[in-house]
Structure 1
Amino acid sequence: MRRIILSTESGADLPGDLAEKYDVQVVPMHIIMDGKDYLDGSLPVQDIYDYYGRTKKIPSTTSTNAHEYQEFFATIRENFPDCIIIHIGYTSKASSSFQNAVIAAKEFEDVFLIDALNVTGGLAAIVLYAAKSLEKEPDIEPETLVEKIEAIVPKSRLAFIPGSLEFLKAGGRVSNMASLIGALLKIKPCIELKDGKLMSTKKYRGKMSGASEKLLSDYLNEFNIDREQLYFIYSIGLDETIKQRMDEVAKENGFQNIKWIQAGGMISTHSGAGGFGIAGLEE
């Protein structure tokens, strides 16, 4: 049986230990800062915030290009000869990265592409679902695994509160960002993925401690999340007492496993320091 290798982008914020455990291959996206192009993951996230602190400029981001994908898929084949590649990509509604993967995959056989229509922990939840499915059934047919992953894509739910509205505004990825103008200093917007698009939905007032707890309550009331696994996403600067409280609330709600995911450079450039998010899979 030919080996199946899973891959994704750095925008999934897949923890390094889990990527290593499941042999998930991760291709970097790009961060542009002070005219220089950095591969996502090649510089500490704190550098992004320090740069903003010095210059009041927010770095921009770009997708992985088609040539990089060609090299990425070729390297996977070199490291895992005769493998089948299943690439689970960053939402095509917020980046050209997935389309570039489609272009590159034309040069290869047995490369399956899945648009996860999600980012950060929402994308990671899908990738890890695929990895665990493959671990449980290593001889699964690739077409069957692809069908299972595609079926879970619409069940991955992500919601987050950005740490900085300046970063969110500058990122320009939220489809209805105009609805926030005029209230930027008064509210903490909840951003969710709707059909692959980043959308501002609910609005919270007050400190992040209260807003994060209200977000978790609303999230669990709206979605019937599988209690086996819950993912919390944070960007550098989130208060440790908030993390502790979120762990407590998740356990009170019956979650067996809770995993914290740090937002990497790609996501942090759009959300700012001190952000909080939740991701899980609906039953």
Structure 2
Amino acid sequence: MSRIIFSTESGADLPKDLVEKHQIQVVPMHVIMDGKDYLDGELPVEDVFDYHSRTKKIPSTTATNIHEYHELFTKIRKDFPDSIIIHIGYTSKASASFQSALIAAEDFEDLFLIDALNVTGGLAAIVMYAVTLLEEEPSISHVHLMEKIESVVPKTRLAFLPGSLDFLRSGGRVSNVAYIGGVLLKIKPCIELVEGKLVSTRKYRGSMSIVAEKLMRDYLNQYDIDRKQLYLIYSIGLDESIKRRMDEIAKEAGFEKITWMQAGAMISTHAGPGGFGIAGVEC
């Protein structure tokens, strides 16, 4: 029986220990600063925030290109001969990456693509669901496995609070009017993935310690998330006391496993410093 190998983009923000443990193949997305291209996953997030502090500019991001996907799939074929590749990709509604993967995949057999319609922790949740399912059912066919993965895509929920409206405005997720009002009134928009698109669904007012707890409780009340696993996402700068409080709430809610993930350079260009997010799969 052919071995199944999973691949995804760096925009999943998967912790390195999980990537290495499960041999998940990750292809980088890109961060652009002053016209220079940096690979997400290799660029320290601190450099993104330092760049903004120095220049008052927000870095831009670009998708993984066709050549990079071709190299990724070729490397997998070399490292894992006769394998079946399942690529679980960054939402096609917010990046050209998935389209590039589709084009590159035309040159390969036994290569299948799934549009996760999600990003960061939401994408990671789907990848880890796939990895766990395969480990629990090693004899499962790739067809049945893909059916199960695709079935959880619409049930995967991601919500996050940006740490800075400057970064969110630069990414086109908030208008200038909303930005000014948000800064003056200390309003933080909640961003969620709705049918693969990043959408501002609600607004919170107050300090991050207050709004993070409000988001967590609203999220858990709105969605019936599987208590086996919850993913909590942070960007550098989130206060440790907030992280401890989110852990407490998650444990009180009955989650068996809580995995913290740091937003990488690419995601941090949209979230800014001190952002917080939650991701999980509904029952």
TM-score calculated relative to the size of structure 1: 0.97
Look up the equivalent residue of 1:200 and give its one-letter code. S
Partner of 1:216: 216
- Provide the secondary structure at the position in 1 that maps to 2:129: helix
Following superposition of structure 1 onto structure 2, how do residues 40-119 of structure 1 map, counting pairs within 5 Å? Answer: 40-119=40-119
Match of 1:184 in 2: 182
SS at match of 2:258: strand
CA RMSD in angstroms, aligned pairs only? 1.0
* Contact kept in structure 1, 2:13 and 2:124, CA below 8 Å: yes
What does residue 277 of structure 2 align with? 277
1:253 aligns with 2:263: no
Say whether 1:196 aligns with 2:201. Answer: no
- Residues 125 and 279 of structure 1 are in contact (CA less than 8 Å); yes or no, is this contact kept in structure 2? yes
* Alignment size in residue pairs: 281
Aligned to 2:37: 37
Q: Is the 8 A contact 1:164 1:273 kept in 2?
A: yes
Structure 1 CA distance, aligned partners of 2:22 and 2:111? Answer: 18
Q: Which amino acid aligns with 1:37?
A: D
One-letter identity of the residue aligned with 2:56:
K
CA distance in 1: counterparts of 2:182 and 2:102, whole angstroms: 38
Deviation at 1:229?
A: 0.6
Unaligned runs of 5+ in 2: none
Counterpart amino acid of 1:154?
P
Partner amino acid, structure 1, of 2:218: D
Alpha-carbon distance in 1 for matches of 2:201, 2:177:
10
Q: 1:109 to 1:258 in 2, by over 3 A?
A: same
Q: 1:236, 1:274 within 8 Å by CA — same for their partners in 2?
A: yes
* Equivalent residues in 2 for 1:214-253, closer than 5 Å: 214-253=214-253
Matched, 1:14 2:32: no
Correspondences of 1:98-177 after superposition (within 5 Å)? 98-172=98-172, 174=173, 177=175
Q: Distance in 1 between matches of 2:176 and 2:91?
A: 21
Measure, in 1, the Cα distance between the counterparts of 2:20 and 2:216. 29
Q: How far apart, in 1, do the equivalents of 2:55 and 2:188 lie?
A: 24
Q: Tell me how far apart the structure 2 counterparts of residues 146 and 49 of structure 1 sit (CA, whole Å).
A: 38
Q: Deviation above 4 Å: which 4+ runs of structure 1?
A: 176-179
CA drift at 1:180? 2.7
Tell whether the 8 Å contact from 1:177 to 1:200 is kept in structure 2 after alignment.
no
Aligned-pair identity (%)? 69
Match for 1:25: what amino acid?
A: Q
In 1, Cα distance between equivalents of 2:169 and 2:112: 34
How many Å apart are 1:42 and its aligned residue? Answer: 1.3
Deviates more, 1:135-144 or 1:270-279: 135-144
- Quickly say closer, same or farther: Cα 1:277–1:115, change in 2 above 3 A: same
Alpha-carbon distance between aligned partners in 1 of 2:165 and 2:80, rounded to the nearest angstrom: 43
**Aligned partner letter, 1:26:** V
One-letter amino acid of the structure 1 residue matched with residue 79 of structure 2: N
Structure 1 position 184, deviation (Å): 2.6
Residue aligned with 1:183, SS: helix
- The answer (yes or no) to whether the contact 1:30–1:37 under 8 Å persists in 2 is yes
